[in-house]
Amino acid sequence: MKIVVCIKQVPDTTEIKIDPKTGTLIREGVPSIMNPDDKGGLEMALQLKEENGAHITVITMGPPQADLILREAFAMGADRAIHLSDRKFAGADTLATSSALAGALRKLDFDLLITGRQAIDGDTAQVGPQIAEHLDLPQVSYLEDLKFDGDKTFTMKRHIEDGYQMLEVEAPCVVTVISSANTPRYMSVGGIVDAYQKEVEVWGFNEIDVDEADLGLKGSPTSVYKAFARGLKPAGELYEVSTDEAVGIIIKKMKEKFIL
């Protein structure tokens, strides 16, 4: 089986702050990580590889420093890594991002394409489904578990709002995985030692199969009108009092605010 996993480098948003004046992210000193859902997707691929045997390619589109997550993927057990990097890809919104990724995927042969459900920075959850549309492949989003029958068919468990959906899907197909699907493994020490000996293939516009007009700023119909940070709420007041007293305080406060 051949599996491709799309991975994205994101700022670790658990450590991120937003500049209240400009409304932009303060990136300084914020570590970059592999997007958590994508790590879950890679782990799913690695488990499939252990159970059924598979060849895993990881692919990312991003600036040169995104090389780090490809090395990390090698150290976890990926077999091949492709880095999409070209000035023509710059300024892409989700549609142009998915066009570029689809352009690369047309050059690859795969049975299963895994993306994360959502990136923790952009947060749109659009790229996976858009790729499936570009390539005209069946897609299953919010995937939590997946089994392969060894031939052609995947049995999938999909997380939906009030329960699960079980599906059977034939290869080739696209899935978007949620990070709660599994606990990703650590990179192995031996894998890290090898990760920088292996070659990351860097692909530009010439290596992929896509219309130039669909790429970068030109291929991006979205434009950001304004970005702003929500104001911080002031710290609450803390009273350590008996229940009766507490009720009294709450009622008084609610009256002050004309809630009661």
Ligand X SMILES: Cc1cc2nc3c(=O)[nH]c(=O)nc-3n(C[C@H](O)[C@H](O)[C@H](O)COP(=O)(O)OP(=O)(O)OC[C@H]3O[C@@H](n4cnc5c(N)ncnc54)[C@H](O)[C@@H]3O)c2cc1C
Binding of residue 38 to ligand X (CB under 6 A): yes
Give the single-character DSSP code of 16: -
Residue 224 or 259: the one with the smaller Cβ distance to ligand X is 224
- Which amino acid is present at 245? E
Q: How far is the CB of 163 from another protein (least distance, A)?
A: 30
Q: How far is the CB of 52 from ligand X (least distance, A)?
A: 22
Binding of residue 71 to another protein (CB under 8 A): yes
- Chain centroid to CA 130: how far? 13
> In the set 75, 125, 175, 195, which binds ligand X (CB under 6 A)?
125
Contacts of 126 (CB under 8 A, 6+ apart): 94, 95, 98
Residue 139 touches which member of another protein, ligand X, none, C-beta under 5-8 Å by kind: none
What mask, x for binding ligand X by CB under 6 A, covers residues 189 to 228? ---------------------------------xxx----
> Which three-class secondary structure state does DSSP give residue 215?
coil
Partners of residue 156 on adjacent β-strands: 146, 167
Compute the distance between CA of residue 72 and CA of residue 78 in angstroms, rounded to an integer: 9
Task: Using alpha carbons, list the distances in angstroms from residue 205 to 84, 104, 106, 176.
Answer: 8, 9, 13, 25
Query: Which residues in this chain contact another protein in the complex, by CB under 8 A?
Result: 68, 71-72, 75, 185-196
Query: Which residues in this chain contact ligand X in the complex, by CB under 6 A?
Result: 6-8, 35, 37-38, 60-62, 91-94, 97, 101, 115-116, 118-119, 121-128, 222-224
